[in-house]
Structures are given as structure tokens and as C-alpha cells.
Amino acid sequence: MARLISETIRLWFKVLAEVIAAGGKLYADVSKAWNFIAGRMLEDAEVTRDKFALYKITPADNLVTGIMSNVIALLIKLYWTPIKLEVWKDNRTGDVYQLTNVHLFPTPLVNSLIE
């Protein structure tokens, strides 16, 4: 499972780097979509803190249609809150991660996700 999480986040960072490089309207649209999808998924989420949470199907899973919604669903299942496109909160520790450089793979972040 750790490799799946790592590769999903790696792919998302590649996509996000392209979005940030394009800037302007594309970045604004992706950010708006992130907030909308995360809000919907958080409403439907049945977050449990058991070791099988990743394997449980929840109503929020019906909203997964691509890489962005997949990352959001993964964060929620890992007991994280996708606050904004570039701000994620680890609900286990209270740590907030601000994504500042998508060109560098965030190994500490991924390690925190797979703990």
C-alpha cells in the first residue's frame, strides 16, 4: 500500500507542477475544483481510524473520477484533511503541511501519509 500512496502523490505533484506553471485561470480553476470536490467528499466521508480504513468503500468513493479526486479521497482515508489545494492537515498529529515546491518530491510528507 505504501508504494501505491507514494506513486499517487508523485503523479499528483507532476500534475500540480504543470498547473502551477500554467498559472492564471488554470490554477484558479483547479483550486476551485479541489475545494468543491474536497468539500463534497468530506461531507460524505465516513472516516474511521482503523487499520482497514483504506480498504473500505464509502459514499465519498463514488466521487472519485480522476487523479485529483483520487488524491483527495486518499487523504481523507488516511485521516488527513485536504484544506486547500496546497494545504493538507494530518488529523492524527495536528501538523499542517503547506506545499511550497511541487518540483521537489516531498519525502517527509509521503512518510507521514504512510505511517
46 part of a folded domain: yes
114 part of a folded domain: no
Exposed, middle or buried: residue 53 (CB in 10 Å: 0-12, 13-18, 19+)? Answer: middle
Q: Over the stretch 64-89, which tens digit does the pLDDT of each residue have?
A: 889 999 999 889 888 899 999 989 99
The domain of 36 spans: 2-108
pLDDT class of 59 with cuts at 50, 70, 90: low
Residue 41 neighbours by CB under 8 Å, 6+ apart = 60, 63, 69, 72, 73, 76
- For residue 26, the one-letter residue type is L
9 part of a folded domain: yes
Number of domains in the chain: 1
- Asked if the model's pLDDT at residue 102 lies above 80, the reply is no
113 part of a folded domain: no
72 part of a folded domain: yes
115 part of a folded domain: no
